[in-house]
Amino acid sequence: MMKPVMKQIFDKIQDAETIMLFRHRRIDGDCLGATKGMKGLIQCTWPEKKVYLTDDEKSGFLAFMGPDDDNVPDEVYKSALGIVIDVGNSERISNQKYALCRELIKIDHHIEREPYGQINWVEDQRSSACEMIAAFYEAFQNELKIDRETATYIYTGMVTDSGRFQYEGVTGDTMRLAGLMLDQGVDTETLYAHLYLRSFDQLKFKGCIYENMQVTENGVAWIHVTKKMQQAFGLDFETASTAISSLSDIKGVLCWLAFIDTDTDEIRVRLRSRFAAINGIAEKYNGGGHACASGATVYSMQEMHSLILDADRHIVNYKDTHEGWL
């Protein structure tokens, strides 16, 4: 269904000669797929337009999706329409030169915190930003053109941000839009190999997680991925962060946490849950996100254990007030 804000965005893109695309820090499949997907839609439809996606932050895990564009002079930003995708607040925009753009559009699926665009299209019930880009294509498919590469970018973000279509927020519309992308010829076998095949060392790391994880009596599983552990398995931060996925399939666990040491005093936190919303806890610890998938940052072991205790109390309260959890 086309919403008025979607038509506004379509018209702005159609009228612009130069367009700059922006994503959030700590790249994931959704922000990369959404920005590359939007770029692909624009270039397929209007090959004469100048469209740039430039960012100094790279992802080894998602390198198969191809490189960004080279940096461009500030004058290009100043003449451009800026489109920021999958970023809830402006401080999380990876390339801060977004502020140079003559006009800004925000496209996002997080709870609205900061309407920093002149045009803001926010749908927090969507499972991913890529689902919104797919919906944008569907709304204007008589005018927009798409190719298999662009559809693959969009489908990648839909798959990764929805936990292979398992998370809360996945709807019939999600699946229909995913099907629309698959109809463009997405090679799912190759894509899933890129996303989910693991090296032998990564599998040994998974075994280490199971040996060292802890579970509270109320159903909070957690793991601290120390620098020593990262060095032992040759992990970069991105790979170390995948520890969160290893904790997701434990019966009786409603919340799982991964604490990942960094090269600074920051300990990055990944929070996931089923049934019980945990984004309020993330917000208390310098973060935020979706109801059942959020991120945070703590700065000491004491703060780490405080977060675990808060999560445990939260799950106790949830169990006391809800039925039907597993």
What pLDDT, on the 0 to 100 scale, is given for residue 183?
98
pLDDT at 113 over 90: no
What pLDDT, on the 0 to 100 scale, is given for residue 290?
84
What pLDDT, on the 0 to 100 scale, is given for residue 326?
63
What pLDDT, on the 0 to 100 scale, is given for residue 112?
87
What pLDDT, on the 0 to 100 scale, is given for residue 166?
85
| Higher-confidence position of 167 and 325 | 167
- Condensed to tens digits (0 to 9), the pLDDT of residues 250-283 reads 999 999 999 999 999 999 999 999 999 999 999 9
CB 213 within 8 A of CB 221: yes
What pLDDT, on the 0 to 100 scale, is given for residue 239?
87
Please, which pLDDT band fits residue 230 given cuts at 50, 70 and 90?
A: very high
Mean pLDDT of 7-19: 98
Instruction: Give the H or E element holding residue 6.
Output: helix 4-15
Please, which pLDDT band fits residue 19 given cuts at 50, 70 and 90?
A: very high
Between CA 128 and CA 86 the distance in angstroms is 8
User: What are the chain's domains?
Assistant: 4-195 (3.90.1640.10), 201-321 (3.10.310.30)
Going from the C-alpha of 194 to that of each of 9, 46, 66, 91, 189, the distances in angstroms are: 32, 30, 12, 30, 9
What is the arrangement of strands in the sheet containing 18-22, beginning at the earlier edge strand?
A: 50-53, 18-22, 81-85, 103-108, 119-122
